[in-house]
């Protein structure tokens, strides 16, 4: 019995060599398709996972002030009301926004000095210098990302001047530069203390961008948020909401590509099917001959199944390996633009790439399975035909 299957295997491997054109067409088309889709999917998964890590580290609740449906600066007078809510551990102020340098936009963040107590751990992701301390409030000391440090050619101890929206020149002193390892999070950041950021953005007295609420460890953030809903003009964002927003954003961008790729996949399935039909005449004769020699319908299906499985797994696996290398080591030129939209990818870091089991099996499911169907079905149709009739038709 085993010998029979071994012989069938050998026969199907020989078919791969014999039908060279069909093998080559399927290999090339599948290789291109899986390389492209895997590069996009692995990158999308990596971006989503990075965003998840950041959202996990964000405050339990972020409070924004909403007026006429738009986010505006929020008064620090809210802090007392929020701090009184049962389950709230502490409330921190935060002012942040964007600063333009050249044709790029960078993130300026003003941190509440009372939040710089390092109680959550030592900040080690600095290449040089130090992180901010409460004593830096109002001094103009900043910590900058590697991208900005490289672009402005500044290092620890240097001064840098930023133009604000009100076209005022603001001088800052660099006390630290973030490291390469944290670039995915810090590349575009200029971190300073709250009062410096308020001066830079010309925030009205007693106003900040948003409030960061940390709830007590034994409390559920949603339940705490529910107690704040009666506060006027506030919008409460919890981590889950942020996460859904980011997943939707990256998922949608990945989805645009997926739509295009689906069309490509249909074309590939048609190519595979047409190849199965093209070789059909030759195959019909062959199947007729095999059946005359005593092959059963199942044997013939097994031969075609093995052929397709070998082709499918070879092309898909190799395509995914190439896709990984293309994304992880070359930053997926051309394809990454679809994912990042209007964004750009600083050269300072590589794309976060995650080869997730879900994506791998999804790609197998839409490449190998259709290939099996498009080749096995014609083989089955040939196999159930009377051998003599099949050979006569093929010869005609």
Partner 1 sequence: MKRIIVLPILALVFTASLMALCAYSEMGWGNRTYDSALRETIGLPSIAVGTNYEGTRNPLLEIFVRSLYDVPGGHDYVVSSSFIDTPMRLGFYRESVPGFNMTMRKG
Spatial CB neighbours of 145, under 8 Å, sequence gap ≥ 6: 106, 177, 178, 183, 186, 187, 188, 189, 190
Are the beta carbons of 147 and 227 closer than 8 angstroms? no
Q: Which is nearer to partner 1, 147 or 394 (CB)?
A: 147
Contact call for residue 82 and partner 1 (CB under 8 A): no
Site for partner 1 in 226-255 (CB under 8 A): 235-237, 241-242, 244-252, 254-255
Q: How far apart are CA 5 and CA 304, in angstroms?
A: 13
Please name the residue that has the structure tokens 């996972």: 49
By C-alpha distance, which of 350, 367, 369, 372 is closest to 42? 350
Contact call for residue 115 and partner 1 (CB under 8 A): yes
Q: Which is nearer to partner 1, 128 or 317 (CB)?
A: 317
Q: Which is nearer to partner 1, 154 or 190 (CB)?
A: 190
Q: Which is nearer to partner 1, 143 or 300 (CB)?
A: 143
Site for partner 1 in 257-286 (CB under 8 A): 258-259
Q: Which is nearer to partner 1, 371 or 391 (CB)?
A: 371
Sign of CA dihedral 98, 99, 105, 111: negative
Q: Which is nearer to partner 1, 80 or 103 (CB)?
A: 103
Q: Which H or E run includes 67?
A: strand 61-67
Q: Which H or E run includes 310?
A: helix 297-328
Residues found in the chain: 396
Q: How far apart are CA 226 and CA 241, in angstroms?
A: 14
The minimum distance between CB 173 and partner 1, in angstroms, equals 19
Contact call for residue 166 and partner 1 (CB under 8 A): no
Site for partner 1 in 55-74 (CB under 8 A): 55-59, 62, 64, 66, 69, 71
Site for partner 1 in 303-332 (CB under 8 A): 310-311, 313-314, 317-318, 320-321, 324
Among 95, 141, 183, 308, binds partner 1 (CB under 8 A): 183
The minimum distance between CB 32 and partner 1, in angstroms, equals 16
Across-strand partners of 193?
A: 111
The minimum distance between CB 175 and partner 1, in angstroms, equals 15
Q: How far apart are CA 40 and CA 317, in angstroms?
A: 15
Site for partner 1 in 339-378 (CB under 8 A): 340-346, 349, 352-357, 359-360, 362, 365-366
Q: Which is nearer to partner 1, 51 or 279 (CB)?
A: 51
Are the beta carbons of 131 and 176 closer than 8 angstroms? yes
Site for partner 1 in 118-147 (CB under 8 A): 118, 120-125, 131, 145, 147
The minimum distance between CB 155 and partner 1, in angstroms, equals 20
Q: Which is nearer to partner 1, 252 or 298 (CB)?
A: 252
Are the beta carbons of 394 and 288 closer than 8 angstroms? yes
The minimum distance between CB 392 and partner 1, in angstroms, equals 30
Q: How far apart are CA 152 and CA 308, in angstroms?
A: 56
Q: Which is nearer to partner 1, 76 or 317 (CB)?
A: 317
Q: How far apart are CA 155 and CA 173, in angstroms?
A: 10
**Total residues in contact with partner 1, by rule CB under 8 A:** 105
Strands (E), the chain: 61-67, 70-72, 74-75, 88-101, 104-111, 126-129, 141-144, 159-163, 169-178, 189-193, 207-208, 210-215, 234-238
Contact call for residue 223 and partner 1 (CB under 8 A): no
Q: In 10 A of CB 113, how many CB atoms?
A: 19
Q: Which is nearer to partner 1, 173 or 350 (CB)?
A: 350
Q: How far apart are CA 115 and CA 136, in angstroms?
A: 13
The angle formed by the CA atoms of residues 24, 27 and 29, to the nearest 5 degrees, is 105
Contact call for residue 105 and partner 1 (CB under 8 A): yes
Cα-flanking dihedrals φ and ψ of residue 118, to 5°? Answer: 55, 25
The site map against partner 1 for 12-51 (x = CB under 8 A) is -xx-xx-----x-----------------x-----x-xxx
The minimum distance between CB 100 and partner 1, in angstroms, equals 10
């Amino acid at each position: 019995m085993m010998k029979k299957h071994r012989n069938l295997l050998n026969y199907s491997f020989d078919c791969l060599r014999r039908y060279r054109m069909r093998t080559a067409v399927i290999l090339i088309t599948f290789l291109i398709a899986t390389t492209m889709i895997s590069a996009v999917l692995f990158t999308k998964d990596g971006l989503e996972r990075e965003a998840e890590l950041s959202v996990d580290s964000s405050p339990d609740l972020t409070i924004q002030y909403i007026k006429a449906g738009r986010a505006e600066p929020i008064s620090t007078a809210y802090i007392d009301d929020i701090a009184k809510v049962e389950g709230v551990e502490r409330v921190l102020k935060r002012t942040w926004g964007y600063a333009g340098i050249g044709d790029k936009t960078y993130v300026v963040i003003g941190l509440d000095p009372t939040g710089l107590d390092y109680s959550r751990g030592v900040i080690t992701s600095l290449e040089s210098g130090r992180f901010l301390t409460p004593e830096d409030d109002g001094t103009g000391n900043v910590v900058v990302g590697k991208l900005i440090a490289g672009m402005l050619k500044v290092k620890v101890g240097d001064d840098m001047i930023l133009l604000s929206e009100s076209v005022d020149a603001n001088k800052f002193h660099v006390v630290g530069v973030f490291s390469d390892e944290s670039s995915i999070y810090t590349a575009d950041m200029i971190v300073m203390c709250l009062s410096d950021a308020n001066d830079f953005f010309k925030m009205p007295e007693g106003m900040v961008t948003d409030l960061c609420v940390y709830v007590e460890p034994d409390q559920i953030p949603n339940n705490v948020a529910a107690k704040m809903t009666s506060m006027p003009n506030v919008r409460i964002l919890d981590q889950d909401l942020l996460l859904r927003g980011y997943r939707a954003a990256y998922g949608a961008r990945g989805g645009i590509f997926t739509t295009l790729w689906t069309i490509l996949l249909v074309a590939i399935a048609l190519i595979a099917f047409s190849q199965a039909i093209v070789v059909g005449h030759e195959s019909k004769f062959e199947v007729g001959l095999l059946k005359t020699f005593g092959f059963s319908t199942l044997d013939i299906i097994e031969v075609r199944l093995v052929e397709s499985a070998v082709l499918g797994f070879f092309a898909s696996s190799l395509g995914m390996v190439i896709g990984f290398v293309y994304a992880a080591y070359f930053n997926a030129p051309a394809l990454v633009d679809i994912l990042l939209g209007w964004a750009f990818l600083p050269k300072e870091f590589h794309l976060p790439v995650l080869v997730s089991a879900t994506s791998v099996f999804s790609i197998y499911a839409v490449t190998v399975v259709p290939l099996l169907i498009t080749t096995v079905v014609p083989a089955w149709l040939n196999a159930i035909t009377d051998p003599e009739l099949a050979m006569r038709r093929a010869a005609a």
